[in-house]
């Protein structure tokens, strides 16, 4: 038998243990091993029952996703075959669950005749997040155990639940605080002693018969999910499968589920979502940092600056249970910062997102401090004052004097050179960038900026912090705007040029929204506030080459005092109390006047041109950043865009999306744009090379 399965006996019970680290995925060898063990138990008259469990910290993460669309995935027994054989097994089979049991692992458990879980085990069917439906009977068995409404919630939501909730729903039979395998073996012995045919989930009819009387639940659910499922195929496919479970005999429902699974797993959306899953995990692997690299435990932190970023970052630490001091130079600034934090938490309590107790616990972890004394005993400081190099150098000089040896000195700068900041200390190896996105307590992306002197220990600690704060960390190099904001530049620039050439802000925003972003660039700018960009442009004006094309429209909007949503006017106008952008004829007239002034003859601009003009240049710049080594791999850029700017996950991020179009085509269009609009759109060397060689970013990073 394969060594990915351990097999032993406990009295008259055969114990099958999955042993395929890290997540005991059901690869071809594991499936074959489980089946072989079951056959052995069948053939042995001394054995009356079977228990299936997992080794290590979890039961199993389900099917082996890397085997999707490969011959290994279909190798007999495939997962549906194994699961049907488990349910049909004549001797009782009990699942002993701990840690996590998701996807195909929960599907197998539901086909076992009984399920026992250790307290706190997480159970779920997350397949929808991979663009598929549960494809091994999950959509048919779950409604039979918990009813259609709970099944819709769990399968379409894809969210895991704790064993205690699963017990209440009827998904499992027992939750134990004691050893789960002992409990499962005891249950197996008891059921075997009682005799009678095993309890088969596929034969349970009560729940589905009752649900058949309420066909309206499906339409109601479809309406309820519409906003969240916009653009996605698999949530609707999941609903159809659960509907089939209710309305069709089990075997027909199962066949329908199978057909739907096969269609979904081959879809472009599923491939993109699988890419997103692996890209997120890949981003945690960084040259020079290994499992052996030591990290500093972060028991206390401090944040310098009580503005929007500083308060949000402070909340991140408190939310993670880490005591944190927030430092301001004047009492009124400190009071304002604490009021902001308290108000944000209170808003969460009011909206039912957190309990009053949780808010009180977070507030008790935050210490307001005047001056730098508070940094003396912290393990990490995050500086989040405004973007002024001399101020930052002064602060880092002080930190260098006061902080304990080995403490991590981080800056939240989004534009300044971290190497220069690091040089203002005597310990540049301890300096790193932790670039949070606004609002920092909400946004998941964290750019971890590696300076030229940052030590592997500092970097590893920063990556560890990202995980503790439940952020999606991505390591990047030093460059103006790093990767995220740097790549935002051509996206915003081209959208503004398009408006000067004949499009309208609302047309550009509609095209980008329809592509799948939560909103287009003009609405985003209004939401973020136009003043920050304006200040940055003013600062950069002196160094901008005369010959470079520049759209003055955004500056003029600011000159009119329109700073976006917060002033109820920006690219759009906003009615009192509303966040809905309303096109403004005054802005339309101003844009037309600006086009005329610059001698630009306005023309009809197609939706397709808008899409490629906004997105191809950022792919092009992404390729440039790979060449420079500022981004480590194309998939890191994808993660940054998905988590930082809402690039639709079902397109897999800009670099994966470009690969699907074909880099030959992307390059051809970039070349055309370059010839029409000039050097800002010149194809980068890496894009040109890959296009000429007929390769993709994926091929390049696999080298």
30 binds ligand 3H9 (CB under 6 A): no
Give me the least distance between CB of 313 and ligand 3H9, in Å please. Answer: 24
3-state helix, strand, coil in the chain (%, to 5): 55, 10, 35
Structure tokens at 153: 């919630």
**Judged by CB, which is closer to ligand 3H9: 22, or 196?**
22
61 binds ligand 3H9 (CB under 6 A): yes
631 binds ligand 3H9 (CB under 6 A): no
One-letter-per-residue 3-state SS of 198-237: CCCHHHCCHHHHHHHCCCHHHHHHHHHHCCCCCCCCHHHH
Taking alpha carbons only, the member of 601, 603, 571 closest to residue 585 is 571
**Binder among 54, 134, 310, 505 for ligand 3H9 (CB under 6 A):** 134
Give the integer Cα–Cα distance in Å for 661 and 681. 19
Bond from prior residue into 439 cis (ω within 30 degrees of 0): yes
Is 627 a catalytic site residue? no
Is 84 a catalytic site residue? no
Residue with tokens 């704790």: 162
Give me the least distance between CB of 107 and ligand 3H9, in Å please. Answer: 6
CA distances from 289 to 214, 459, 537, 557, 622 (A): 56, 8, 37, 47, 24
**Judged by CB, which is closer to ligand 3H9: 65, or 530?**
65
Site residues for ligand 3H9, 76-95, by CB under 6 A, read 79
652 binds ligand 3H9 (CB under 6 A): no
| Catalytic residue, candidates 87, 107, 447, 506 | 107
Give me the least distance between CB of 209 and ligand 3H9, in Å please. Answer: 25
The answer to whether the CB of 252 falls within 8 A of the CB of 260 is no
Query: Which span (102-110, 360-368, 535-543, 608-616) binds ligand 3H9, by CB under 6 A?
Result: 102-110
**Binder among 92, 103, 428, 581 for ligand 3H9 (CB under 6 A):** 103
Query: How far out from the chain centre does Cα 580 lie?
Result: 26
**Binder among 4, 13, 18, 23 for ligand 3H9 (CB under 6 A):** 23
List residues bridging with 101 in a β-sheet.
60, 123
Kind of pairing between the strands at 161-162 and 114-118: unpaired
Give me the least distance between CB of 27 and ligand 3H9, in Å please. Answer: 8
**Binder among 190, 224, 230, 281 for ligand 3H9 (CB under 6 A):** 281
| Catalytic residue, candidates 67, 87, 127, 496 | 127
54 binds ligand 3H9 (CB under 6 A): no
Give the integer Cα–Cα distance in Å for 575 and 565. 10
**Binder among 15, 32, 37, 63 for ligand 3H9 (CB under 6 A):** 63
130 binds ligand 3H9 (CB under 6 A): yes
138 binds ligand 3H9 (CB under 6 A): yes
Give me the least distance between CB of 278 and ligand 3H9, in Å please. Answer: 6
Give the integer Cα–Cα distance in Å for 171 and 641. 37
Site residues for ligand 3H9, 454-483, by CB under 6 A, read none
**Binder among 179, 190, 278, 370 for ligand 3H9 (CB under 6 A):** 278
Instruction: Look at residue 579 and give its three-state secondary structure.
Output: coil
Query: Which span (59-67, 168-176, 424-432, 517-525) binds ligand 3H9, by CB under 6 A?
Result: 59-67
Give the integer Cα–Cα distance in Å for 467 and 473. 7
CA distances from 471 to 290, 317, 660 (A): 20, 11, 28
127 binds ligand 3H9 (CB under 6 A): yes
Residue number, nearest CB to ligand 3H9: 103
CA distances from 683 to 427, 628, 635, 647, 672 (A): 40, 15, 20, 22, 10
**Binder among 35, 59, 64, 112 for ligand 3H9 (CB under 6 A):** 64
**Judged by CB, which is closer to ligand 3H9: 160, or 451?**
160
**Binder among 15, 18, 25, 232 for ligand 3H9 (CB under 6 A):** 25
Strand order, beta sheet including 431-436: 366-370, 324-328, 301-304, 380-383, 408-411, 431-436, 445-450, 472-477
Which residues here bind ligand 3H9, judged by CB under 6 A?
Answer: 22-23, 25, 61-66, 79, 100, 102-104, 107, 126-127, 130, 134-136, 138, 278, 281
* Residues with a known catalytic role: 107, 127
């Amino acid at each position: 038998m394969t060594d990915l399965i351990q097999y032993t006996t406990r009295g008259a019970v055969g114990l099958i243990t999955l042993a395929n680290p890290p997540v005991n995925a059901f690869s071809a060898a594991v499936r074959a091993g489980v089946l072989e063990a079951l056959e052995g138990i069948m053939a042995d008259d001394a054995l009356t029952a079977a228990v299936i469990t997992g080794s290590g910290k979890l039961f199993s993460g389900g099917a082996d996703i890397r085997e999707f669309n490969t011959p290994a995935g279909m190798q007999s027994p495939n997962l549906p075959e194994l699961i049907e054989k488990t349910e049909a097994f004549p001797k009782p089979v009990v699942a002993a669950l701990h840690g996590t049991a998701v996807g195909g692992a929960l599907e197998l458990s539901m086909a076992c005749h009984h399920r026992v879980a250790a307290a706190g085990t997480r159970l779920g069917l997350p397949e929808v997040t991979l663009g598929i439906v549960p494809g091994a009977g999950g959509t048919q068995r779950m409604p039979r155990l918990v009813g259609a409404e709970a099944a819709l919630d769990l399968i379409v939501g894809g969210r895991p639940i704790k064993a205690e909730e699963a017990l209440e729903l009827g998904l499992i039979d027992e939750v134990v605080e004691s050893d789960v395998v002992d409990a499962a073996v005891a249950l197996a012995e008891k059921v075997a002693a009682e005799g009678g045919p095993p309890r088969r989930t596929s034969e349970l009819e009560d729940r589905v018969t009752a649900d058949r009387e309420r066909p309206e639940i499906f339409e109601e659910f479809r309406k309820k999910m519409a906003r969240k499922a916009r653009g996605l195929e698999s949530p609707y496919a999941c609903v159809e499968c659960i509907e089939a479970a209710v309305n069709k005999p089990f075997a027909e429902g199962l066949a329908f589920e199978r057909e739907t699974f096969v269609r979904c797993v081959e879809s472009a959306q599923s491939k993109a979502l699988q890419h997103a899953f692996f890209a997120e995990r890949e981003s945690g692997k960084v040259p020079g940092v290994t499992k052996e690299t030591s990290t500093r435990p972060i028991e206390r932190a401090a944040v310098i600056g009580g503005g929007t970023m500083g308060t949000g970052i402070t909340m991140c630490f408190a939310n993670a249970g880490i005591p944190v001091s927030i430092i301001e130079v004047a009492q009124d600034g400190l009071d304002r910062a604490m009021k902001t934090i308290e108000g944000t938490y209170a808003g969460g309590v009011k909206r039912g997102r957190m309990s009053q107790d949780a808010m009180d616990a977070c507030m008790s972890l935050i210490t307001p401090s005047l001056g730098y004394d508070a940094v003396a005993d912290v393990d990490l400081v995050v500086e989040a004052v405004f973007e002024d190099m001399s101020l930052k150098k002064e602060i880092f000089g002080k930190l260098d004097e006061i902080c304990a040896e080995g403490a991590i000195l981080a800056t939240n700068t989004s534009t300044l050179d971290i190497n220069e900041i690091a040089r203002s200390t005597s310990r540049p190896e301890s300096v790193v960038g932790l670039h949070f996105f606004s609002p920092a307590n909400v946004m998941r992306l964290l750019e971890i900026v590696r300076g030229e002197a940052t030590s592997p220990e500092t970097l590893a600690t920063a990556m560890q912090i990202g995980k503790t704060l439940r952020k999606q960390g991505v390591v990047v190099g030093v460059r103006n705007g790093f990767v995220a904001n740097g790549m935002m530049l051509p996206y915003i620039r081209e959208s503004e040029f398009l408006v000067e050439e004949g499009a309208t802000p609302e047309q550009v925003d509609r095209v980008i929204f329809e592509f799948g972003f939560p909103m287009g660039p003009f609405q985003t700018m209004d939401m973020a506030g136009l003043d920050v960009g304006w200040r940055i442009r003013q600062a950069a004006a002196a160094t901008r080459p005369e010959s470079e094309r520049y759209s003055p429209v955004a500056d003029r909007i600011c000159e009119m005092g329109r700073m976006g949503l917060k002033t109820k006017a920006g690219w759009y106008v906003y009615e009192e109390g509303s966040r809905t952008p309303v096109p403004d004829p005054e802005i339309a007239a101003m844009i037309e006047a600006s086009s005329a002034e610059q001698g630009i003859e306005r023309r009809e601009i197609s939706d397709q041109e808008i899409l490629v003009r906004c997105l191809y240049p950022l792919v092009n710049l992404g390729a440039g950043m790979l060449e420079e080594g500022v981004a480590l791999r194309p998939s890191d850029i994808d993660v940054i865009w998905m988590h930082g700017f809402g690039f639709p996950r079902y397109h897999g991020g800009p670099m994966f999306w470009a690969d699907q179009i074909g880099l030959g085509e992307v390059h051809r269009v970039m070349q055309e744009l370059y010839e029409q609009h000039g050097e800002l759109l010149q194809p980068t060397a890496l894009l040109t090379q890959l296009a000429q060689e007929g390769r993709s970013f994926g091929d390049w990073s696999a080298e």
